[in-house]
Structures are given as structure tokens and as C-alpha cells.
Amino acid sequence: MTKPIILTGDRPTGKLHIGHYVGSLQNRVRLQNEEQYEMFVFLADQQALTDHAKEPQKIVESVGQVALDYLAAGLDSRKSTIFIQSQIPELAELSMYYMNLVSLGRLERNPTVKTEIAQKGFGESIPTGFLVYPIAQAADITAFKANYVPVGVDQKPMIEQTREIVRSFNHAYQTDVLVEPEGIYPSHEGAGRLPGLDGNAKMSKSLNNGIYLADDMDTLKKKVMSMYTDPDHIKVEDPGKIEGNMVFHYLDVFGREEDKAEIEAMKEHYQRGGLGDVKTKRYLLEILERELAPIRERRLEFAKDMGEVYNMLQKGSEKARQTAAQTLSEVKAAMGLHYFN
């Protein structure tokens, strides 16, 4: 009996931060190691180019960096197929066939696309590739006949668009070639989204408010000591707020079971007064260093041989292409586009 298939990935626009780690990487490694699924993990460089077309070198360099983050976090090419999106040309051909099944109006109504267009400030200059990337995403998912796609709640409209395309294709061509995927969402809204060091709801490179898996100990220390806490907690003896205090938020996320009693005691102490921010930040630094030091060490080790990292990506891409090519062949057969067989 074949295993259910999971597809997941990231846009390589820079190194991955700890928001990516707690939001997706940890879960991917867990699913991979359970060995109950066949996992495809991809670097979505073509999707990244939809809004970075004029800076391709940034994307190219980021592919290697994200691959290092994957390996350091625990993804294993012996257990998961790790590949680069642009090396699978079959995905572009599938996208072309799917475009004919989706109206322009439907794309423009996609809530995720509307939100991202507003965030990026495209105005009237929306790149066509960006507008149609839900279709390309459907090609990614269906090419590997993924049963499950782990995504954030904000990506639900994208999964639903893929499901619509699958139903439209299978109905139009009277086939069951394409598999209708299901999203795997966080257990509650807000789960898996780590705020930035400054308290901003989003951790990102552009806001310079993130901790990266590649950060060394000194960098990590500087960032932790600059974190947003309670602006009204001026003196040590002042009562402090833990709501919106990034130090305590991060302690809740990264603290282990054995840390919970200490964290709760610190919260109570901080709220009644007498506990300074420096002490809480030093404790958080210990917690983060415990989690990130092994990842950092593995990353440095993998980085010593980038040739081997790219060799791994090449092998993964070749394997992924075989799967995508088989699906494309079935799609073209269903459409009657096999002229010479």
C-alpha cells in the first residue's frame, strides 16, 4: 500500500528564521521521521521570481542558503525528496493547461492574492506571474499527487483554488487523474506565526526583526538583548506586563516541559515587580541557545561542502521530475494530446 503524499516548501528569498523553524520546519522533520508519508520538499524559486524578477541572483544564492537551513534543521534527503522548482519544466506545462480552467476574475477574487498584492504595493503594475501563481501552485501540488499540504490559515484560499482546478479538470476531461489535496492547518489561529523581535506581527528580513538559523552566538545575544518587552517597565521594582512582551512570548514557544515551572514563576515575579528585563532576556538566551546551537553546528558542517549540497538537490530534482513527468503524461493523455502513440 502506497504512503500518503505530502508536498511542502518555501520561497528562497533569504535565509530562514526561527519563525520558519517553529511554523513549519519542526513539523516537517517530525512528519518525515514518522515515515508514514512520502514527502516532497521544494525550493520555490520560480514563485519567488514572480516579485523578484529583476534580482534573480538573490534567489539563486538563497537556494543554497535555504537548503543548508533544511539540512541543519533535520530534513534528510534519504527520507524526503528535496528539489528545486525551476528544474522541473513539467510544472510550467501543467500550469498552462490549468490556466484555461480558471477565469481572471476568480484569480482577482482570491483573498490571499488580494492581500499580498496590497502588502507589496503593486498598484496597477501587478506582474502577471504573481497574479497567476495560485495556478502554478496548483501545478506544484497536483504534479506530485499530494494528498496533504501543510500551510498556514492564510493559505486556505490557495488550497481551495487548487481543489477547484482538480475538480474542473477531472470533470472536463472525464478522468480521475488529478488528486484533490487537503490542507494541514495549525491547530488554532495564530499558531505557527512567531512575532518579530520588535513586537511586529511578522518576522521578516525586510523589517530586520528576526533571528536566523545561521546567526552565531554573538548575533543571537545582541538580538535577544534588544527585544521588545514592556515599555512601561522602567525600573526593576515596577510591575511589568507579560502580554505583548516578546521575551515571555518566546519563552512560551521555545521552553520545554521541564522549563514550564520556571517560566511561570518568572511571569508571576515580573508582574508583581522586582524582576528586570535583563535577567529575563538572559534566561531566554539560554533557552534559545540550547535549541539553536546544534542546528548552527550542523549548518556550518554542511556548508563546508556546498558541492555535496547541490549534488543532493540535483538528485532530488531528478527524482521529482520523474514523478512530475508521469503526471503530465497522464494529464495529456486525458486531454487527448498524445498524437504519436
Tens digit of pLDDT for each residue in 55-109? 999 999 999 999 999 999 999 999 999 999 999 999 999 999 999 999 999 998 9
Class of CATH domain 3-192+305-333: alpha beta
What's the average model confidence in pLDDT over 259-270? 97
Annotated binding-site residue? 12: yes
Torsion angles phi and psi, residue 216, rounded to 5 = -80, 175
The confidence score (pLDDT) of residue 202 equals 82
Residue 66 near residue 10 (C-beta atoms within 8 A):
yes
Residue 270 near residue 242 (C-beta atoms within 8 A):
yes
Q: What tens digit of pLDDT does each residue of 200-244 get?
A: 878 887 788 999 999 999 999 999 999 999 999 999 999 999 999
Annotated binding-site residue? 140: yes
Class of CATH domain 214-298: mainly alpha
Annotated binding-site residue? 337: no
Annotated binding-site residue? 115: no
Annotated binding-site residue? 20: yes
b or e along 268-289 (b: 16 or more beta carbons within 10 Å of the residue's beta carbon)?
Answer: eebbeeebbbeebbebbbebbe
Distance between CA atoms of residues 192 and 19, nearest Å: 7
Place of cell 512528519: 31
Percent of the chain that is helix, strand, coil (3-state, to 5):
55, 5, 35
Q: What tens digit of pLDDT does each residue of 152-205 get?
A: 778 899 999 999 999 999 999 999 999 999 998 876 555 567 899 999 878 887
Judged by DSSP in three states, 8 sits in: strand
User: Domain extents for the chain?
Assistant: 3-192+305-333, 214-298
The confidence score (pLDDT) of residue 119 equals 82
The confidence score (pLDDT) of residue 118 equals 86
Annotated binding-site residue? 240: no
Distance between CA atoms of residues 46 and 60, nearest Å: 10
Residue 34, pLDDT > 90, answer: yes
Annotated binding-site residue? 204: yes
Distance between CA atoms of residues 281 and 296, nearest Å: 20
Annotated binding-site residue? 230: no
